[in-house]
A = this chain, B = another copy of it.
Amino acid sequence: MSAQAHASGEDSPTNGTGSALSGESWNDITPDAARRLVVAAVEAFAERGYHATTTRDIAGRAGMSPAALYIHYKTKEELLYQISKVGHLRSLALLSEARDAAAPAADRLATAVRRFVRWHAEYHTTGRVVQYELGALAADHYAEIVALRRRSEDAIRSIIEEGVAAGDFDVPDVSGTTLAVLSLCIDVARWFNPRGRRTPDEVGELYADLVLRMVGAPRQPARP
What residues of chain A have their CB less than 8 Å away from a CB belonging to chain B? 1, 48-52, 132, 135-136, 172-173, 176-177, 179-180, 183-184, 186-188, 190-191, 198, 203, 206-207, 209-210, 213-214, 216
Copies of this polypeptide in the complex: 2
Q: How far apart are the CA atoms of A172 and B219 in the complex, in Å?
A: 13
Q: Is the CB–CB distance between B210 and A191 below 8 Å?
A: no
Q: How far apart are the CA atoms of A89 and B172 in the complex, in Å?
A: 34
A51: chain B residues within 8 A (beta carbon): 48-49, 51-52
Contact of A173 among B176, B206, B213 (CB under 8 A): B206
A149 to chain B: closest CB distance in Å?
A: 10
A207 to chain B: closest CB distance in Å?
A: 7
23 A-B interface contacts by CB (under 8 A): A1-B173, A48-B135, A49-B50, A49-B136, A51-B51, A52-B136, A132-B132, A132-B190, A172-B209, A176-B203, A176-B206, A179-B191, A183-B184, A183-B187, A183-B188, A183-B190, A183-B191, A184-B184, A184-B187, A187-B187, A213-B213, A213-B214, A214-B214
Q: How far apart are the CA atoms of A188 and B186 in the complex, in Å?
A: 12
Nearest chain B residue, comparing its CB with the CB of A172 = B1
A203: chain B residues within 8 A (beta carbon): 176
Contact of A135 among B49, B176, B210, B216 (CB under 8 A): B49
Q: Is the CB–CB distance between A210 and B177 below 8 Å?
A: yes
A135: chain B residues within 8 A (beta carbon): 48-49
A52: chain B residues within 8 A (beta carbon): 51, 136
Q: How far apart are the CA atoms of A92 and B180 in the complex, in Å?
A: 23
Nearest chain B residue, comparing its CB with the CB of A186 = B187
Contact of A176 among B187, B190, B198 (CB under 8 A): B198
The residue in A135, A136, A179 that gathers the most chain B C-beta atoms within 10 A of its C-beta is A179
